[in-house]
Chains A and B, each alone.
Chain A
Amino acid sequence: MSSKRPSKRAFASGSLAPQRTVGGETGAEAASLTAEQKLDIWQWLQKNRMVEERLGLLYRTGKVVGGLYTSLGQEGISVGTAYALEPQDWVGPLIRNLGVMLVRGVRPREAFTQYCARATSPTGGRDGNTHFGNPEKRIVAPISHLGAVIPVMAGIALAAKKRGENAVCVTWIGDGGTSTGDFHEGLNLAAVLDLPLVLVVENNGYAYSTPTRMQTRPEDLVAKADGYGLPAEIVDGNDVLAVYDAMRRATTRVRDGGGPVMLEMKTFRMKGHAEHDDAKYVPPELFEEWRRRDPLVLYDRVLEEEGILTRAERDRRVAELKAEIDADAEFAVASPTPDPRFAFGRVYADDGGPGPLPGPAWGPAGATRLGRGLPGGDRHDVRDPRGGNA
């Protein structure tokens, strides 16, 4: 165990006083950002929103398969946290963290092809939406079951520590997700094993229709960090610079062997749970209130005041982004749907890989099996060397 682990225990069974800061001097990291970096952050914010807006268009024109989940109003969290990371760090983003993936180098076309279930998508159509990872970019894909990524990221952190990667592992979770068993087990494991993990909690007021107060009794979710003896900090999630600043301080502490920390981002989900949800259960004045705190608008104001971004430069950059995003969306729409044979194989390392279509398993053992053809009815004999598996 690291000697830097904060120890406030007076007695063996003594209490651990809550630490409501992850350390460092508040604001110092943000203050040391160059104009270039600030423009970078602006660019990622715009890109995050524009890609999701484009996804909305694809959804409304029937190109998206299944539901669409966006991060409207929460982009500052994805972008600010991811921008604070180093290349060797690992991320485990959730469905509202497309911005994290973009900052880590995922191209818009990967999201478009995933949501449209095309053959060219990162999973080849086997899974959808943001459910894709990238080992080279150190991105771990989520599953739908909320909380499940947290212990997995603790495991990545365990390995990173053992292998001396000097890596910080980061994952994100909603206010609702903090009610799952995996959240608690994962956080506790990371705490007692002193693992290099940052847990970013996005408290956006709702989990589907359930308001945060019906999810967790304390108003602040950092209370859960207190319970496991983790330093934690409450951050204005709609202020991208505050997010970046807190994340830099958090990762510095974790990288120095300080053990896991939690950041609670206060924010708001500016849409329904997904595109199909009209969010009638949200009082309209809440949307009104938070619309005034749109992270992109707030940040535009900062850059304007600091004279970093002129109107002309802004327009030029937006046009550039739009061209890239349009091209990628068109690429997705023009991409073929997957070959049905890709449904089969690569369930195991040694099963021969995707395809061919397996034949029905009936018939005498060892006989040539009559296979069903591709949908459309063409039939052909398939000898299944793997022993048949309809």
Chain B
Amino acid sequence: MAAGTTYIEAIREAMAEEMRRDDSVLVIGEDVGTYGGAFRATAGFLEEFGPERVIDTPISESGIVGMSVGAAMNGLRPIAEMQFIDFLSNAFNQVVNMAAKLRYRQNIGVPIVVRGPCGGGVHGGPYHSQNVESHYLSTPGLKIVEPATARDAKGLMKAAIRDPDPVLFFEHKFLYRRIKEDLPDEDWVVPIGKAATAREGEDLTVVTFGACVHHALEAADRLDHEGLSVEVIDLRTLLPLDREALHATAKKTSKVIVYHEATRTGGIGAEISAILAEECFEWLDGPVLRVTAPDTPVPYAPPLEAAFLPGPEDLIDAARYLAGY
């Protein structure tokens, strides 16, 4: 049993174990080799796996993803690192038009993982804090995951590497070294497409993912003292969504809040809300609420960022309101 494994260590271990298991797995990115990655996700990889499988690249995100696609078409399983997920925008075309569409057009698999740190709470400002899932949600052919725990980080990373299709793997950097778990030694995989129940509850559900899971659990604890029993669903996979888990919890509590850190308009909350309205209307006792960031860029100064980020307080407000239905 690996004692006290952090979220970032779990990701590193998952990649290292997969690289030991499968010679076709390799990592490609800026400063991933000699330096071991800006956040040390690939520390020690160059020494263990050598420069043919741990490839330091020029600053060329579009090239990194495009090259990964090509390598995948020719038998490799690349893991492409974005130093910050904000820079994935530079590779947008390769992700949405090349990687995502090859299966549909020609039944060609693109088993790549594009991973990197996302999210705010660390005063990174507008370009080192973004949550970009909604930029990619409307692209069929992609899978998107974002773990909230070290265990899921490891299991989902293994699943992503073994997956036959392109997976965007978002890592919430706020969690990198803030959470620690004892992880079992054996090889396990967390299936893509399956949500988890982070906390059972009766009165109301919070559907969330990533760092927000931890804020939701905190809010649920506090609401418990008010006599409100809150269920927390951790989506883990954002594309495809686990509709069954959404149906089940809507049937159980009849009241749902979707909670995410990204901005509101066109966010994943809108999609989940639509699914619930279309498929669970009969069971709902109140409106599906969204607790999200406002529609602005992520500000830099701590007081501005605190006002921007949707925290436990916002969730508690929403829960109290919804409980009144």
A residues sitting closer than 8 Å to B (CB atoms) are 65-66, 117-119, 123-128, 131, 143-147, 176-177, 179-182, 207-210, 214-216, 281, 337-345, 347, 357-358, 360-363, 370, 372, 374-375, 377, 389-390
Once bound together, how far apart are the Cα atoms of A360 and B311, in whole Å? 13
Q: Is the CB of B294 within 8 A of A66?
A: no
Q: B292 an interface residue at 8 Å Cβ cutoff?
A: yes
Contacts of B301 in A (CB 8 A): 65, 117-119, 124-126, 128, 337-338
Mask: chain B, 285-300; 1 = CB below 8 Å from A; 0 = not:
0010111101111011
Contacts of B296 in A (CB 8 A): 343-345, 347
Q: Is the CB of A126 within 8 A of B299?
A: yes
Q: B171 an interface residue at 8 Å Cβ cutoff?
A: no
Q: Is the CB of B127 within 8 A of A347?
A: no
Known contacts A337-B302, A342-B304; 20 further A-B pairs (Cβ under 8 A): A125-B301, A125-B304, A127-B126, A127-B299, A207-B58, A210-B56, A215-B58, A216-B58, A337-B303, A338-B301, A343-B303, A343-B308, A344-B294, A344-B307, A361-B290, A372-B314, A375-B313, A389-B295, A390-B290, A390-B314
Contacts of A375 in B (CB 8 A): 303, 306-307, 313
Once bound together, how far apart are the Cα atoms of A47 and B290, in whole Å? 50
B residues sitting closer than 8 Å to A (CB atoms) are 30-31, 34-35, 38, 56, 58-63, 84, 86-87, 89-90, 123-128, 264, 287, 289-292, 294-297, 299-308, 310, 313-314, 317-318, 321-322
The closest CB in chain A to the CB of B37 belongs to A209
Once bound together, how far apart are the Cα atoms of A12 and B90, in whole Å? 34
The closest CB in chain B to the CB of A148 belongs to B90
Q: Is the CB of A209 within 8 A of B264?
A: no
Q: Is the CB of B56 within 8 A of A339?
A: no
Query: Among the listed A65, A127, A362, which residue makes an inter-chain contact with B287, where contact means beta carbons less than 8 Å apart?
Result: A362
Query: Among the listed B31, B290, B317, which residue makes an inter-chain contact with A208, where contact means beta carbons less than 8 Å apart?
Result: B31
Contacts of A389 in B (CB 8 A): 264, 294-295
Once bound together, how far apart are the Cα atoms of A361 and B288, in whole Å? 12
Q: Is the CB of A361 within 8 A of B321?
A: no
The closest CB in chain A to the CB of B321 belongs to A362
Q: Is the CB of A208 within 8 A of B308?
A: no
Q: Is the CB of B300 within 8 A of A128?
A: yes
Q: List 9 A-B contacts (CB under 8 A).
A: A65-B123, A118-B301, A125-B304, A131-B125, A180-B61, A345-B296, A361-B264, A389-B295, A390-B310
Q: Is the CB of B307 within 8 A of A357?
A: yes
Of A126, A144, A343, A357, the most chain B CB neighbours within 10 A belong to A343
Contacts of B38 in A (CB 8 A): 208
User: Given A209-B31, A343-B304, A362-B289, A117–B127 Cβ distance below 8 Å?
Assistant: no
Once bound together, how far apart are the Cα atoms of A377 and B303, in whole Å? 14
Query: Among the listed A119, A144, A337, A340, which residue makes an inter-chain contact with B86, where contact means beta carbons less than 8 Å apart?
Result: A144
Once bound together, how far apart are the Cα atoms of A208 and B83, in whole Å? 11
Query: Among the listed B87, B264, B317, which residue makes an inter-chain contact with A370, where contact means beta carbons less than 8 Å apart?
Result: B317
Q: Is the CB of A343 within 8 A of B89?
A: no
User: Given A145-B89, A370-B317, A390–B307 Cβ distance below 8 Å?
Assistant: no
Q: Is the CB of A372 within 8 A of B60?
A: no
Q: Is the CB of B300 within 8 A of A117?
A: yes
Q: Is the CB of B264 within 8 A of A145?
A: no
Contacts of B318 in A (CB 8 A): 360, 362
Looking at the assembled complex, report how far the CB atom of A3 sits from the nearest CB atom of chain B, in whole angstroms: 37
Contacts of A357 in B (CB 8 A): 307
Once bound together, how far apart are the Cα atoms of A375 and B307, in whole Å? 7
Query: Among the listed A143, A179, A210, A362, which residue makes an inter-chain contact with B127, where contact means beta carbons less than 8 Å apart?
Result: A143
Of B62, B127, B301, B303, the most chain A CB neighbours within 10 A belong to B301
Looking at the assembled complex, report how far the CB atom of A375 sits from the nearest CB atom of chain B, in whole angstroms: 6
Contacts of B61 in A (CB 8 A): 180
Contacts of A377 in B (CB 8 A): 313
Looking at the assembled complex, report how far the CB atom of A152 sits from the nearest CB atom of chain B, in whole angstroms: 15
Looking at the assembled complex, report how far the CB atom of A119 sits from the nearest CB atom of chain B, in whole angstroms: 8
Once bound together, how far apart are the Cα atoms of A315 and B19, in whole Å? 60
Q: Is the CB of A281 within 8 A of B60?
A: no
Query: Among the listed A146, A214, A390, which residue makes an inter-chain contact with B294, where contact means beta carbons less than 8 Å apart?
Result: A390
Q: Is the CB of B299 within 8 A of A177?
A: no
Once bound together, how far apart are the Cα atoms of A131 and B300, in whole Å? 11
Q: Is the CB of A117 within 8 A of B123?
A: yes
The closest CB in chain A to the CB of B36 belongs to A209
Q: Is the CB of A341 within 8 A of B307?
A: yes
Contacts of B86 in A (CB 8 A): 144-145
Q: Is the CB of B299 within 8 A of A343?
A: yes
Q: Is the CB of A358 within 8 A of B321?
A: no
Contacts of A127 in B (CB 8 A): 125-126, 299-300
The closest CB in chain B to the CB of A363 belongs to B321
User: Given A339-B303, A370-B317, A372-B313, A179–B295 Cβ distance below 8 Å?
Assistant: no
Looking at the assembled complex, report how far the CB atom of B36 sits from the nearest CB atom of chain A, in whole angstroms: 9
Contacts of B125 in A (CB 8 A): 66, 127-128, 131
Of B89, B127, B305, B318, the most chain A CB neighbours within 10 A belong to B127
Once bound together, how far apart are the Cα atoms of A374 and B311, in whole Å? 13
Contacts of A126 in B (CB 8 A): 126, 297, 299-301, 304
The closest CB in chain A to the CB of B314 belongs to A372
Looking at the assembled complex, report how far the CB atom of B67 sits from the nearest CB atom of chain A, in whole angstroms: 13
Contacts of B128 in A (CB 8 A): 66, 144
Once bound together, how far apart are the Cα atoms of A54 and B61, in whole Å? 34
Q: Is the CB of A210 within 8 A of B302?
A: no
Once bound together, how far apart are the Cα atoms of A210 and B292, in whole Å? 38
Looking at the assembled complex, report how far the CB atom of B196 sits from the nearest CB atom of chain A, in whole angstroms: 26
Q: Is the CB of B30 within 8 A of A210?
A: yes
